[in-house]
């Protein structure tokens, strides 16, 4: 049931359709007679500055809901709340579907890039190469030289650089120098002149 409308000053109720009630901005209801008794733009009940609005069937639903019963308001607003809830849920479902589609595309792109990276890794040569086995033609510091090289190397070693023992054997070592020994200085051959005196004006 609706809340009865009455004047907050004289507490009269509407008796005939022609009698009008007004609602002040401070939240009081005044009949037409009491409204004229008070000062203009001033509430007769609380004496504060206010504005007034005539109550009628043309009044906005928000103002009319102030005089409606709570049970009626519950039914009315529950229906509106349900409509709003369904609208918001549908709206959010569209947004969720968009994000799901976007995530699926990103996952597909990531999968393709991962496959490409794996293929590139397979095609890339290894960083560390294994050493090749020694071949007969390759240079090997530990390879056995040929017979010719052995002969040549032994010959060159014996001929050019004799061993220390050989040098000691060939050298005559006098551990105690003799004071009587004279140093011998090598003397070269006497100089010979092969030029004969000129004869008949010619050298010969």
Q: Residues 66-107: pLDDT tens digits?
A: 888 888 888 888 988 999 999 999 999 999 999 999 999 999
Co-location of 74 and 45 in the same domain: no
| Domain shared by 64 and 74, yes or no | no
In a domain, 187, yes or no: no
30 and 55 share a domain? Answer: yes
pTM of this structure: 0.40
114 within a domain of the structure (yes/no): yes
Higher pLDDT: 136 or 22? It is 22
More confident residue, 14 or 204: 14
Tell me, yes or no, whether 31 lies in a domain.
yes
**How many domains is the chain built from?**
2
From 83, 98, 123, give the residue that closes a domain: 123
Q: For residue 28, give the nearest of 3, 45, 4 by alpha carbon.
A: 45
Q: Are residues 33 and 55 in the same domain?
A: yes
Asked, for residue 153, whether it belongs to a domain, the answer is no
CATH number for the domain that contains residue 44: 3.30.40.10
64 plus 78 within the same structural domain: no
pLDDT for residue 148: 46
Residue 143 inside a domain? The answer is: no
Residue 147 falls within a domain, yes or no? Answer: no
Task: Give the residue numbers spanning the domain of 17.
Answer: 1-68
4 and 61 within one domain: yes
Q: Residue 129 belongs to what H/E stretch?
A: none
Q: Are residues 1 and 64 in the same domain?
A: yes
Q: Is residue 17 part of a domain?
A: yes
CA distance 23 to 6: 11
Residue 144's Cβ-side half-sphere holds a number of Cα atoms within 13 Å equal to: 2
Helix ranges (H only) for the chain are 32-37, 61-64, 70-123, 147-160, 164-170
Are 5 and 21 in contact by the 8 Å Cβ rule? The answer is: yes
56 and 79 share one domain: no
52-79 average pLDDT score? 88
Coil/strand/helix, residue 121 = helix
What is the SS3 assignment for 33? helix
Does residue 80 or residue 124 have the better pLDDT? 80
> Among 123, 141, 161, where does a domain finish?
123
Structure tokens belonging to residue 81: 């709340």
Tell me if 193 is assigned to some domain: no
Alpha carbon distance 118, 23 (integer Å): 78
């Amino acid at each position: 049931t609706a809340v009865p409308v009455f004047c907050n000053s004289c507490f009269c109720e509407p008796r005939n359709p022609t009698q009008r009630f007004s609602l002040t901005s401070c939240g009081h209801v005044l009949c037409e007679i009491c409204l004229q008794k008070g000062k203009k733009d001033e509430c007769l009940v609380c004496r504060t500055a206010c504005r007034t609005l005539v109550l009628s069937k043309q009044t906005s639903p928000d103002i009319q809901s102030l005089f409606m019963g709570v049970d009626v308001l519950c039914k009315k607003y529950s229906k509106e709340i349900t409509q709003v809830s369904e609208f918001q849920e549908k709206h959010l479902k569209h947004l969720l579907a968009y994000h799901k589609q976007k995530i699926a595309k990103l996952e597909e792109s990531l999968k393709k890039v991962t496959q490409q990276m794996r293929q590139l890794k397979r095609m890339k040569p290894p960083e560390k190469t294994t050493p090749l086995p020694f071949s007969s033609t390759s240079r090997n510091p530990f390879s056995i030289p040929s017979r010719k090289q052995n002969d040549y190397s032994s010959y060159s070693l014996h001929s050019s650089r004799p061993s220390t023992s050989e040098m000691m054997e060939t050298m005559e070592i006098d551990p105690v120098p003799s004071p009587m020994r004279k140093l011998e200085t090598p003397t070269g051959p006497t100089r010979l002149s092969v030029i004969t005196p000129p004869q008949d004006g010619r050298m010969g």
